[in-house]
């Protein structure tokens, strides 16, 4: 996903301008125009991205399996000193 740096304002709803054609199309049976609200393109894109992210699993089990197999075959070297130091550093910042 590419993040566009030019967007600086808040993302919100956009209500389109009424034209004679859209005013007739949105008229209610009570005689008044119905309020028509559309999502801004940015908000729509954010909602689609959120739905896609929500559909992804929390853990990539295929990747976990590949790493376990690589460890079992000694193809992936695990530096226990570096790992333990990284864990200590992580907990110092918390």
d(CA 36, CA 92): 53
In this structure, the answer to whether residues 73 and 51 fall within a common structural domain is no
pLDDT at residue 42, rounded to an integer: 87
| Angle at alpha carbon of residue 68, lines to 67 and 73, rounded to 5° | 95
Overall pTM > 0.85: no
pLDDT at residue 20, rounded to an integer: 54
Mean pLDDT, the chain, rounded, equals 75
Alpha-helix residue ranges (DSSP H) falling in 1-94 = 20-25, 41-55, 61-72, 80-93
In this structure, the answer to whether residues 62 and 90 fall within a common structural domain is yes
Report how far apart, in Å, the C-alpha atoms of 16 and of each of 11, 19, 27 are. Answer: 16, 9, 15
Instruction: Express each pLDDT in 46-69 by its tens digit.
Output: 999 999 998 988 889 999 999 999
Q: Say which residue, 81 or 35, is predicted with more confidence.
A: 81
In this structure, the answer to whether residues 44 and 64 fall within a common structural domain is no
Any domain includes 79:
yes
pLDDT at residue 36, rounded to an integer: 61
Number of domains in the chain: 2
């Amino acid at each position: 996903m590419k993040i566009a740096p030019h967007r600086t304002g808040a993302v919100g709803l956009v209500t389109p301008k009424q034209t004679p054609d859209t005013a007739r199309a949105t008229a209610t049976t009570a005689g008044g125009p119905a309020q028509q609200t559309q999502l801004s393109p940015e908000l729509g894109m954010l909602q689609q991205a959120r739905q896609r992210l929500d559909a992804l699993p929390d853990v990539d089990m295929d990747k976990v399996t590949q790493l376990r197999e690589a460890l079992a075959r000694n193809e992936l070297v695990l530096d226990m000193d570096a790992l333990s130091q990284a864990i200590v550093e992580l907990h110092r910042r918390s």
